[in-house]
Structure 1
Amino acid sequence: MAERERINSVPLVSLITINYNQAAVTCQLLESTRRLKYPRFEVIVVDNASKEDPTDRIVKGRYPNVKVVRSSENLGFSGGNNLGMQHARGAYFFFLNNDTEVTPDLLDQLLEPFKTNPAIGIVCPKIRYFDQPTVIQYAGYFPLSKFTGRTWSIGLGETDKGQYDRSGVTDFAHGAAMMVSRRAVEIGGAMDESFFLYYEELDWSMQIQRAGFQIYYQAAALIYHKESISVGKASPMKVYYLTRNRLLFMRRNVSGFPLYVFILYYFCFALTKAAFVYAVKGQLTYLNALKNAIVWHFTHKIRRSKNNLSSPAVAVT
């Protein structure tokens, strides 16, 4: 009885992950969740219209307590996670890629910052590469350049020697592993589904911050990421969405002179350089993906985010 009361006294955490034709990889993640020490969490797998229904393999296999939500269409990263939230009961949503593996005290550590600061809306762990377990992928984010649209994760590619073991507020969350409070979502809104793949967590980070919340890097929390299993380390799909969504992100979040400078930089330098490289290497499918990514912007109306980067954040009381 006392043990049940102890479990019920802590907040429920909803782990949400997306599966797309990768049931075996997803099951590896689910297997790793058995290590979690935190006593109260649920696991939701959103299947993005995979060719084969993974429900039997997951639920009737070794993970009967996992809830599988099947989508009739591929909703992408943002849409899939939004669907997962609709089925989640937790006070906190923990979004994690299906190609990650957790560590035992991950949830406990991620919850700590929320207890001390109500302004925190998203907490991310330190991320290391699964195949190179001492090499860092994420230890927070550098600020965005409004003129080039570039940012990158702190510590990327560095061997972890404790140099980023100091926790603190950071500029962006990492989509591979981010815990978000239900309150932040209720006030800041869900992910924008026009991105489909890539840049959606950067856009959402800006959206949540404009609602008055902070993003926090929790150095004591650790997760391992296999990275790019879904679309490959290089593919026409990746080129298309990275190209399209970098411009989409900037158009939605930046205005005025910085946006004009970015567009000039993007078209005269970044895109021209990429097109030249693909042409020289004879990578015509990549070149076509680049072209289609730009054409998309002439055929779709962009819905700007409320309060762009030049606008002050709304205070949360």
Structure 2
Amino acid sequence: MKVSVITVNFNQPGVTEELLATIPAIEDLEVIVVDNGSEKDASSQLQAKYPTVKFIRSEKNLGFAGGNNLGIKQAAGDYLFFVNNDTEFTPGLVEKLAEVLDTHPEVGMVSPKIKYFYNKGMIQYAGYTPLNYYTGRNSCIGLRENDEGQYDHITAPTAYCHGAAMMVRKTAIEKAGIMNENFFLYYEELDWGEHIKRAGYQAWVCTDALIYHKESVSVGKNSRLKEYFMNRNRILFIRRNAPFFKKIIFYFYFILMVVPRNVVNYIKAKNYNYISALIQAVWWNLTHNKNSKDLGYH
């Protein structure tokens, strides 16, 4: 089966080049880099160093979902491997994930174990627990645990794949549709996972496959942008996916519990500009259709 690796670059040609240097030359492997409206298009310089890579340029920043959707439209692979540009491949990564899809036709998407690039002994992801629709929260299995083999040799269903590295069957995309672009940043892979599961497929994790992640290079570990989209899209995910009764409970929980708690935390941390980002996030959901393409961030 042919695999297409798809990654999105936004103003980080050096980071993207570091990723490309770790992708092995494998038969039937296509590599696609989507430049997502970077201020300076570095595709020609990268193309000179990596002549077999396919470069796609968007003049506008379309967000994580929009950038990856451009890659989907031009990918020739039977399996599409979406990776953040701030990741590093390890030996056998592509083959191990592809083998899961080869041998388990019920699997629509699969993620590897993810470990922190700057602390290679620490786990970021070894699966997800199901999302609680009442709170809009779930847990990342293994998060910040030292890797002592406790999640080795797991190839099994998980609630969600991780957006930093997920291989998706093309036929599952054809049935479920591409990513919803109005998320822009965060929660889009969870929303996509819900739609792929509704199309009749499962999400799995394969911890024998490993990738390293530099995490949050694009938006910063903490930023007003991140706070806005994390809160906005948490609400949006529930609006798009939760049953009616659970939606109502979530709305009360978010307004009465989450908003006051977050405001107190912002004040304690002296992140006063995060308060307006939170208010914007709530207001967007009160004033926009759940499929609105107006991102509402300013």
Normalized against structure 1, the TM-score is what? 0.89
**Which residue, out of 63, 66, 71, partners 1:79?**
66
> Contact 1:45–1:67 at 8 Å: present in 2 too?
yes
Tell me the distance in 2 between the aligned counterparts of 1:26 and 1:68: 12
- Name the structure 1 match of 2:36: 48
CA gap of 1:37–1:43, structure 2 versus 1, over 3 A, is closer
Is this contact kept in 2: 1:129–1:226, CA < 8 A?
yes
Give the alignment of 1:154-173 within 5 angstroms: 154-165=141-152, 166-173=154-161
**Which residue does 1:146 correspond to in 2?**
133
Q: Say whether the 8 Å CA contact 2:161–2:203 is kept in structure 1.
A: yes
Unmatched runs of 5 consecutive residues or more in structure 1: 1-10, 305-317
Q: Deviations over 1:10-58 (max 9, x none)?
A: x11110000000000000000011xx36322111100111000111221
1:278 maps to 2:266: yes
Question: Over aligned residues, Cα RMSD in angstroms?
Answer: 1.2
Q: Cα deviations across residues 168-227 of structure 1 (Å, max 9, x unaligned)?
A: 000001000000011000011110011000000010010100111001101110000000
- Deviation of 1:281 (Å): 3.8
Deviation of 1:280 (Å): 4.0
Q: What SS does the corresponding residue of 1:52 show, helix, strand or coil?
A: coil
- Partner Cα separation in structure 2 for residue 38 and residue 232 of structure 1: 33
Which segments of structure 1 move beyond 6 Å, counting only runs of 4 or more? none
Answer whether contact 1:97 1:177 (CA < 8 A) is retained: yes
2:249 alignment partner in structure 1: 261
1:235 aligns with 2:216: no
Q: Conserved in 1, the CA contact under 8 Å of 2:81 and 2:167?
A: yes
SS in 2 for 1:134: strand
User: Shift of the alpha carbon at 1:116?
Assistant: 1.8
SS of residue in 2 equivalent to 1:77: helix
User: What does residue 290 of structure 1 align with?
Assistant: 278
Per the alignment, residue 18 of structure 1 pairs with 8
Match of 2:205 among 212, 217, 220: 217
Give 1:279 shift: 3.0
Which whole-Å CA distance do the structure 1 matches of 2:270 and 2:124 have between them? 31
| CA deviation after TM superposition for structure 1 residue 161, in Å | 1.1
Could you tell me how far apart the structure 2 residues matched to 1:95 and 1:286 are?
Answer: 30
Amino acid across the alignment from 1:64: P
Structure 2 Cα separation of the partners of residues 23 and 257 of structure 1: 46
SS in 2 for 1:135: strand
Cα distance in 1 for residues equivalent to 2:39 and 2:19? 20
What corresponds to 1:107 in structure 2?
94
Q: Does 1:206 align with 2:194?
A: yes
Identity %: 49
Q: Which amino acid counterpart does residue 233 of structure 2 have in structure 1? A: N
- Counterpart CA distance in 2 for 1:194 and 1:76 is 9
1:292 corresponds to which letter in structure 2? Q
Cα distance in structure 2, aligned partners of 1:281 and 1:105? 43
> Unaligned stretches of 5+ in structure 2?
293-298
- 1:283 deviates by 2.2
* Structure with larger Rg: 1
Asked whether the equivalents of residues 128 and 136 of structure 1 are also in contact (C-alpha less than 8 Å), the reply is yes
- Tell me, yes or no, if structure 1 residue 183 matches structure 2 residue 185: no
Call closer, same or farther: CA 1:224–1:281 in 2, change over 3 Å. closer
**Deviation of residue 299 (structure 1)?**
2.4
Question: How many residues end up aligned between the 2 structures?
Answer: 291
CA contact (8 A) 2:182 2:291 kept: no
TM (norm. structure 2) is 0.95
Rounded Cα–Cα distance in structure 1 between residues aligned with 2:134 and 2:89: 36
Q: Deviations over 1:46-102 (max 9, x none)?
A: 011100011122102x21111110001110000100011111111110000000000
